[in-house]
């Protein structure tokens, strides 16, 4: 009996994944015809692949200081594409390594907050009643604060460091996902296929995870895509203010902030990480906005 | 006749909704017995409690509704007090339900095969891929889908309305339930497909030996498909008789009204006859017969006392003062 139950659980997870996969396949198919999605997706893929390839690319060590006279604040050249900073470090290499940090923090934070949001939002929306009352209250409590302020407070309390930044962003960002998921679940649980499945003897958790969740995945993807852009901004802002990742870990926010002093005579120190950050955020926003258009049922007829 | 075993026995079932504005009595004392291998049609207008009877049997009455009185016995097991775990295994394996609109009752993100897989593995404990596939193909063949292997791989939106309803029936019958509840199974389909689906349902019920409860507002459908018909009005069953008997000798004024309102082929009429008035508000409890305000034969007693259910001839039950008070029962 226990074995059968375990098998059943395995099957359930597999089914849930199947439902999600089907939705994703649909999104990909329709997204491929939307220019915003294609451009945003391409930008993100390029940036992520460069960030992933950082260790094997022939670039300087981003933390290697060069304190020999005449090696600091060099303007962009064939040797140092983006110039060097006040400690003689290669800005180009630091921008690439900084992408690894920013993207990791943003994506992990979004995944964590999405998971918190899905579980709480699904529970609230599916069960309703008192459970919903309590969870919704908590969501609204978090929703009252702008995510950045909340993240700043948590980061300041937890102290600088990669894990702490991820934690701070996750804690302050999950409410959006939970709200979205709750609304979706609320409308899905009234749908007849959920009722039909219940009439055929399915349990609550089966209904929640195999029938409600896969049908709600589309708006979550849009929210996640825009969420990554938000999280990059938050992470950079935290680092800019000195409560984010600790130097010498290269981070866009920290580079922006340290370059301010030299903005007059060495503008490249701040400009290049800034431009890269804008490009990344633009990529994720384009993808998110494009997907929203693609998934909007009113646009379906037009795009097909 | 008397040797037949009852599958489902409902006695005095009352389902009420507790709203902020008051209590709505959706079902008020339903008495209904469904025997083995029998098709029973439940007819009545919108809001009379047909679907609620089905939901009550499966214990799926939506919030804030609740079964407040009565008993539902399935093969001798009391369903109203059964614990949830066992109730869940009754749903699907013992009593199954077909919904009105198959296009919304199938989950859009799963293939037909994987939805069937789910029900079969859930209730029969089959998890092995080959065995599952065999079962799924069998279920689809049962509802006469010509290419089960191909349909298995399809998503609901790729199927026509009739095909979707067939899949829905396959889902409901996949665990060979003894009791099938069909809640307006053909309302969303066009007339040709309606005929096919009804024929299929009838044949399947005969083949599997299960009983069927067919809910509809279309008298033509029940006449063709069912052995017995229950007419519902305002949460009560007002008349219950064999199909032929009911059409020949409608005893309750409401049934008689329904039958005259139903236009017959070849009949010339300038205006269709209607039953005047509207359904009473279920929020206000009524003392007498719920049909009194619309009844042409209403007497003083009708608004004062609730008519009791009398058997006026063998297997023909009516709840009406015309029959319980006026004429003696001959059954």
Question: What span, in angstroms and rounded, lies between the C-alpha atoms of B249 and B64?
Answer: 39
Which residue from A191, A193, A201 is facing B122, i.e. has the nearest CB? A201
Phi/psi of residue B180, nearest 5 degrees:
-115, 125
Q: What is the pLDDT of residue A304?
A: 37
| Residue A18 belongs to a domain | no
Q: What is the pLDDT of residue A44?
A: 92
Question: What span, in angstroms and rounded, lies between the C-alpha atoms of B237 and B249?
Answer: 17
Under the banding of pLDDT at 50, 70 and 90, the label for residue A298 is low
Q: What percent of chain B has pLDDT over 90?
A: 21
Nearest C-alpha in B relative to A190:
B62
Q: What mean pLDDT do residues B311-331 have?
A: 72
Look up residue A38 and give its DSSP letter: H
Q: Do B105 and A195 touch (CB under 8 A)?
A: yes
Under the banding of pLDDT at 50, 70 and 90, the label for residue B1 is very low
**B329 has pLDDT over 60:** no
| Residue A143 belongs to a domain | yes
| Residue A277 belongs to a domain | yes
CB contact at 8 A, A192 and A275? no
Under the banding of pLDDT at 50, 70 and 90, the label for residue B11 is very high
* Domain of A192, in residue numbers: 24-54+78-303
Question: What span, in angstroms and rounded, lies between the C-alpha atoms of A134 and A65?
Answer: 53
Name the domain count of chain A.
1
pTM over 0.80: no
Question: What span, in angstroms and rounded, lies between the C-alpha atoms of A91 and B240?
Answer: 87
Alpha helix (H) residue ranges in chain B: 50-57, 84-93, 102-105, 112-124, 129-142, 148-152, 161-173, 191-208, 219-225, 243-248, 253-261, 321
Q: What mean pLDDT do residues B258-266 have?
A: 78
Bridge partners of residue B33, in order along the sequence: B9
3-state class of B24 per DSSP?
strand
Q: Do B171 and A200 touch (CB under 8 A)?
A: yes
Q: What is the pLDDT of residue B180?
A: 92
**B56 has pLDDT over 70:** yes
Which residues of A are less than 8 Å from B127 in CB distance? 4, 7-8, 11
Which residue from B60, B104, B122 is facing A199, i.e. has the nearest CB? B60
Under the banding of pLDDT at 50, 70 and 90, the label for residue A7 is low
| Residue A255 belongs to a domain | yes
Under the banding of pLDDT at 50, 70 and 90, the label for residue A301 is very low
Look up residue B47 and give its DSSP letter: T
Under the banding of pLDDT at 50, 70 and 90, the label for residue A8 is low
Q: Do B118 and A201 touch (CB under 8 A)?
A: no
Which residue from A11, A129, A203 is facing B88, i.e. has the nearest CB? A203
Q: Do B114 and A15 touch (CB under 8 A)?
A: yes
Q: What is the pLDDT of residue B241?
A: 92
**A120 has pLDDT over 90:** yes
Distances (CA, A) of A241 to A117, A148, A301, B286: 28, 12, 47, 72
Q: What is the pLDDT of residue A170?
A: 93
What DSSP string runs through A175-214? HHHHHHHHHHHHHHTTSHHHHHHHHTT--HHHIIIIIIHH
| Residue A207 belongs to a domain | yes
Burial (0-12, 13-18, 19+ Cβ within 10 Å), B62: exposed
Q: What is the pLDDT of residue A259?
A: 83
Which residues of A are less than 8 Å from B182 in CB distance? none
pLDDT per residue as tens digits for the range B278-289: 777 888 777 788
Q: Domain with A143 in it: what CATH number? A: 1.10.3720.10
Q: What is the pLDDT of residue B328?
A: 40
3-state class of B278 per DSSP?
coil
Look up residue B67 and give its DSSP letter: E
Question: What span, in angstroms and rounded, lies between the C-alpha atoms of A221 and A31?
Answer: 12
Q: Do B108 and A215 touch (CB under 8 A)?
A: yes
pLDDT per residue as tens digits for the range A35-73: 888 999 999 999 999 999 888 887 777 777 777 777 777
Under the banding of pLDDT at 50, 70 and 90, the label for residue B261 is confident
Q: Do A22 and B105 touch (CB under 8 A)?
A: no
Nearest C-alpha in A relative to B64:
A129
* Longest Cα separation, chain A: 79
Q: What is the pLDDT of residue B306?
A: 84
What DSSP string runs through A83-122? -B-TTS-BHHHHHHHHHHHHHHHHHHHHHHHHHHHHHHHH
| Residue A11 belongs to a domain | no
Question: What span, in angstroms and rounded, lies between the C-alpha atoms of A208 and A184?
Answer: 12
Under the banding of pLDDT at 50, 70 and 90, the label for residue A258 is confident
3-state class percentages of chain B: helix first, strand second, coil last, to nearest 5: 35, 25, 40
Q: What mean pLDDT do residues B145-165 have?
A: 89
Average pLDDT value over all residues in chain B:
86
Residues 6+ apart with CB under 8 A from B7: B34, B35, B36, B38, B74, B75, B178, B179, B211
3-state class percentages of chain A: helix first, strand second, coil last, to nearest 5: 75, 0, 25
Q: What is the pLDDT of residue A11?
A: 65
Under the banding of pLDDT at 50, 70 and 90, the label for residue A113 is very high
Distance from CA of B116 to the nearest CA of A (A): 11
Distances (CA, A) of A234 to A35, A146, B126, B328: 27, 11, 50, 85
Alpha helix (H) residue ranges in B24-97: 50-57, 84-93
* Residues of chain A contacting B, Cβ within 8 Å: 4, 7-8, 11, 15, 18-19, 22-23, 128-129, 191-193, 195-203, 206, 210-211, 214-215
Q: What is the pLDDT of residue A5?
A: 60
Average pLDDT value over all residues in chain A:
84
**B326 has pLDDT over 70:** no
Look up residue B326 and give its DSSP letter: I
Higher pLDDT, B267 or A1: B267
Q: What mean pLDDT do residues B293-305 have?
A: 83
Question: What span, in angstroms and rounded, lies between the C-alpha atoms of A258 and B168?
Answer: 65
**B156 has pLDDT over 80:** yes
Under the banding of pLDDT at 50, 70 and 90, the label for residue A303 is very low
**B207 has pLDDT over 90:** no
Q: Do A196 and B93 touch (CB under 8 A)?
A: no
Question: What span, in angstroms and rounded, lies between the C-alpha atoms of A273 and A260?
Answer: 12
Q: What mean pLDDT do residues B201-221 have?
A: 88
Query: Mean pLDDT lowest for which of A24-33, A294-303, B127-136, B160-169?
Result: A294-303
**A169 has pLDDT over 60:** yes
Residues 6+ apart with CB under 8 A from A301: none
B172 and chain A: CB distance < 8 Å anywhere? yes
Residues 6+ apart with CB under 8 A from B61: B15, B52, B55, B67
B77 and chain A: CB distance < 8 Å anywhere? no
| Residue A29 belongs to a domain | yes
Q: What is the pLDDT of residue A246?
A: 76
């Amino acid at each position: 009996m226990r074995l059968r139950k375990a098998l059943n659980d395995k099957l359930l997870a597999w089914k849930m994944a199947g439902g999600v996969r089907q939705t994703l396949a649909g999104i990909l198919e329709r997204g491929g015809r939307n220019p915003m999605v294609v451009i945003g997706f391409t930008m993100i893929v390029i940036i992520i692949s460069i960030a992933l390839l950082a260790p094997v690319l022939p670039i300087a060590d981003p933390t290697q200081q060069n304190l020999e006279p005449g090696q600091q604040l060099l303007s962009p050249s064939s040797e140092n594409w983006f110039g060097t900073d006040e400690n003689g470090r290669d800005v180009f290499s630091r921008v690439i390594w900084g992408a690894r940090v920013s993207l990791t923090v943003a994506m992990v934070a979004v995944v964590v907050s999405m998971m918190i949001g899905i579980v709480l939002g699904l529970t609230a929306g599916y069960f309703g009643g008192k459970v919903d009352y309590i969870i919704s209250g908590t969501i609204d409590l978090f929703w009252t604060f702008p995510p950045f302020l909340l993240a700043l407070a948590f980061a300041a309390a937890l102290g600088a460091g990669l894990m702490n930044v991820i934690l701070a962003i996750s804690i302050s960002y999950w409410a959006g996902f939970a709200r979205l998921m709750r609304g979706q679940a609320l409308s899905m649980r009234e749908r007849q296929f959920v009722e039909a499945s219940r009439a055929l003897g399915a349990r609550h958790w089966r209904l929640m995870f195999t029938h409600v969740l896969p049908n709600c995945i589309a708006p979550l993807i849009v929210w996640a895509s825009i969420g990554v852009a938000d999280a990059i901004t938050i992470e950079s802002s935290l680092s800019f203010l000195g409560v984010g990742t600790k130097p010498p870990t290269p981070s866009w926010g920290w580079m922006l902030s340290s370059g301010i002093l030299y903005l007059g005579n060495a503008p490249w120190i701040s400009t290049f990480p800034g431009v890269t950050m804008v490009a990344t955020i633009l990529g994720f926003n384009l993808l998110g906005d494009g997907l929203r258009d693609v998934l909007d049922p009113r646009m379906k007829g037009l795009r097909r | 006749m008397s040797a037949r075993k009852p599958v489902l026995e409902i006695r005095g079932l009352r389902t009420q909704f507790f709203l902020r504005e008051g209590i709505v009595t959706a079902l008020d004392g339903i008495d209904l017995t469904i025997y083995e291998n029998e098709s029973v049609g439940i007819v009545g207008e919108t809001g009379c409690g047909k679907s609620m009877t089905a939901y009550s049997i499966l214990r799926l009455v939506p919030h804030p509704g609740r079964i407040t009185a009565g008993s539902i016995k399935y093969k001798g097991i009391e369903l109203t007090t059964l614990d949830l775990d066992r109730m869940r295994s009754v749903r699907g394996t013992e009593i199954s339900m077909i919904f009105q609109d198959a296009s919304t009752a199938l989950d859009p993100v799963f293939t037909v095969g994987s939805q069937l897989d789910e029900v079969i593995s859930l209730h029969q404990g089959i998890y092995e891929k080959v065995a599952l596939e065999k079962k799924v193909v069998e279920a689809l063949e049962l509802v006469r889908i010509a290419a089960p292997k191909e349909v298995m791989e399809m998503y609901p939106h790729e199927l026509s309305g009739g095909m979707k309803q067939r899949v829905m029936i396959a889902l409901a019958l996949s665990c060979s339930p003894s009791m099938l509840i069909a809640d307006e199974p053909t309302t969303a389909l066009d007339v040709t497909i309606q005929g096919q689906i009804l024929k299929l349902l009838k044949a399947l019920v005969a083949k599997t030996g299960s009983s069927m409860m067919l809910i509809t507002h279309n008298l033509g459908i029940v006449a063709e498909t069912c052995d017995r018909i229950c007419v519902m009005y305002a949460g009560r069953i007002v008349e219950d008789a064999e199909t032929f008997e009911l059409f020949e000798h409608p005893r309750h004024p409401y049934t008689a009204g329904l039958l005259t309102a139903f236009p017959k082929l070849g009949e010339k009429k300038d205006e269709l006859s209607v039953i005047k008035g509207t359904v009473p508000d279920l929020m206000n409890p009524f003392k007498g017969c719920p049909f009194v305000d619309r009844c042409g034969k209403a007497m003083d007693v009708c608004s004062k006392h609730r008519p009791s259910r009398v058997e006026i001839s063998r297997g023909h039950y009516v709840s009406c003062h015309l029959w319980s008070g006026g004429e003696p029962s001959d059954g």
